[in-house]
């Protein structure tokens, strides 16, 4: 330190405070927050460029990764008409294709449960492996289950690293780079909606969907958890999720809960609506209803 042309030795206090300030500065800039949740915009842009470059090198596909933020004034919700679903599983495979789910080992975000009309909604008597020649089967109805995007989500509460959270538009997302694969969230989810990559995911190169979102369908590594994101890459661009568009019987409905003219609001106001496992107080944004 220089005062009046003389050098004085730094005091212990000065050294300690300046070293602390330097360390803090280094932490905040160089190795700063890496979670995508809290990354500043510029850092996010850079992280996404890195992702795109890595995908190009690793997969040989030009994957574009979107960083579209939540749209202000939008809270997504979903409704599924139990009186119409015929259990054809078109949604399951449209979802697999759109969201780059591993074909082997098989990961499917949507599970369609076949239930008996006599028993009603009874998960202990539900069969996901039904395979008749034609659906619907006599005396059966079908309950497709995927992430319920809970308002009171048990999965985000148990994550020890903060790698999963609820976005402002109501979508529960996962930061695949921050997930340590402990699978606490899978144990916490009462809907079986989260899936683990036990092995390196395999997708034929020609079938990779290159339109991705950093919190959604970008290709995942081995050892992380993944789940339905309401097709975040589509819905934040104004489109319907892939499962809504493919459904041949129009059983799947999607929209903005905060828009009083949306389909979702019409359904909630006019139809008989229920949520799965209501007693657990998870408060899903995924509603089931009977249109007739």
Using CB under 8 A, list all residues that contact other proteins.
74, 86-90, 92-93, 106, 108, 111, 128-136, 235, 238-240, 244-245, 247-250, 253-256, 259, 262-263, 266-267, 271, 291
Q: Considering the complex, state which of residue 37 and residue 93 has its C-beta at the smaller distance from other proteins.
A: 93
- In angstroms and rounded to an integer, the radius of gyration of the C-alpha atoms of the chain is 23
> How far are the Cα atoms of 42, 95, 155, 190, 219 from residue 150, in angstroms, in the given order?
30, 20, 9, 11, 24
Q: Considering the complex, state which of residue 207 and residue 259 has its C-beta at the smaller distance from other proteins.
A: 259
Compute the least distance from the CB of residue 248 to other proteins, in Å: 7
CB-based burial of residue 8 (10 Å sphere; 0-12 exposed, 13-18 middle, 19+ buried)?
exposed
Q: Considering the complex, state which of residue 139 and residue 238 has its C-beta at the smaller distance from other proteins.
A: 238
CA distance 135 to 133: 7
Q: Considering the complex, state which of residue 59 and residue 291 has its C-beta at the smaller distance from other proteins.
A: 291
Which DSSP string corresponds to 49-80? Answer: HHHHHHHHHHHSS--EEE-PPPPTT--EEEEE
Compute the least distance from the CB of residue 30 to other proteins, in Å: 40
Compute the least distance from the CB of residue 208 to other proteins, in Å: 20
Q: Considering the complex, state which of residue 1 and residue 131 has its C-beta at the smaller distance from other proteins.
A: 131
Compute the least distance from the CB of residue 136 to other proteins, in Å: 7
CA distance 157 to 154: 5
CB 210 within 8 A of CB 63: yes
Convert 141-177 to b/e letters by CB count within 10 Å (16 or more is b). bbbbbbbbbbeebbbbebbeeebbbbbebbbbbbbbe
Q: Considering the complex, state which of residue 128 and residue 280 has its C-beta at the smaller distance from other proteins.
A: 128
Compute the least distance from the CB of residue 253 to other proteins, in Å: 6
Q: Considering the complex, state which of residue 163 and residue 242 has its C-beta at the smaller distance from other proteins.
A: 242
Compute the least distance from the CB of residue 258 to other proteins, in Å: 11
Compute the least distance from the CB of residue 274 to other proteins, in Å: 16
CA distance 287 to 149: 10
Tokens 């602390």 appear where? 20
What does residue 144 show for φ and ψ, rounded to 5 degrees?
A: -70, 135
CA distance 255 to 12: 62
């Amino acid at each position: 330190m220089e005062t009046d042309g003389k050098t004085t030795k730094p005091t212990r206090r000065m050294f300690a405070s300046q070293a602390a300030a330097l360390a803090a500065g280094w932490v905040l800039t160089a190795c700063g927050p890496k979670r995508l949740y809290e990354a500043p915009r510029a850092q996010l842009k850079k992280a996404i460029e890195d992702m795109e470059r890595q995908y190009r090198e690793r997969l040989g596909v030009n994957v574009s990764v979107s960083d579209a933020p939540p749209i202000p004034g939008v809270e997504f919700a979903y409704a599924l008409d139990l009186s119409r679903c015929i259990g054809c599983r078109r949604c399951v495979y449209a979802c697999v294709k759109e969201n780059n789910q591993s074909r082997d080992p098989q990961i499917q975000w949507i599970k369609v449960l076949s239930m008996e009309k006599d028993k009603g909604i009874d998960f202990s008597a539900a069969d996901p492996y039904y395979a008749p020649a034609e659906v619907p089967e006599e005396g059966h109805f079908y309950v497709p289950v995927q992430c319920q995007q809970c308002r009171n989500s048990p999965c985000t509460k148990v994550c020890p690293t903060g790698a999963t959270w609820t976005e402002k538009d109501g979508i529960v997302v996962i930061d695949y780079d921050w997930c340590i694969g402990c699978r606490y969230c899978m144990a916490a989810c009462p809907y079986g909606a989260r899936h683990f990559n036990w092995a390196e995911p395999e997708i034929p190169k020609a079938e990779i969907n290159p339109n991705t979102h950093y919190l959604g369908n970008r290709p995942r590594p081995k050892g992380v958890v993944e789940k339905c994101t309401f097709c975040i890459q589509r819905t934040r661009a104004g489109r319907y999720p892939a499962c809504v568009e493919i459904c041949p019987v129009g059983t799947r409905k999607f929209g903005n809960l905060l828009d009083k003219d949306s389909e979702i609001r019409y359904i909630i106001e006019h139809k008989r609506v229920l949520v799965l496992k209501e007693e657990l107080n998870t408060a899903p944004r995924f509603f089931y209803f009977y249109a007739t």
